[in-house]
Amino acid sequence: MDKYSTEELTLWFKKQLAAELNVPSENVDLNATISSFGLDSLSNLTLVFSIEEYTNLSIDPTVFEEFNTFEEVIEWIQNQKK
């Protein structure tokens, strides 16, 4: 599995969420609560699938329920890679 830096993952998450929400990526705050993004279950699953493809990790689709923010998700992904 490739190793990604926090910066790379941050940029990638911002780009993905910006596309999901139709907003500029600079407006995406990864420290906001995940629930505040208002993603429905299909969007959540689509994002998890994209993360799997990008990181080569096998991820439980319910992963976002375990975390408050996407920054925490990024931290979790990095720990999976160690």
**Cβ proximity of 54 and 14 under 8 Å:** no
CA distance 14 to 3: 18
Which residues from 38-77 bind other proteins, rule CB under 8 A?
41-43, 45-50, 53, 60-62
Kindly state the smallest distance separating residue 44's Cβ from other proteins, in Å.
9
**Cβ proximity of 57 and 65 under 8 Å:** no
Q: Which is nearer to other proteins, 7 or 53 (CB)?
A: 53
78 binding other proteins? (CB under 8 A): no
Kindly state the smallest distance separating residue 51's Cβ from other proteins, in Å.
10
Rg of the chain over Cα atoms, rounded to whole angstroms, equals 12
Q: Which is nearer to other proteins, 22 or 31 (CB)?
A: 22
CA distances from 10 to 65, 70, 79 (A): 19, 9, 15
Residues that bind other proteins (CB under 8 A): 41-43, 45-50, 53, 60-62
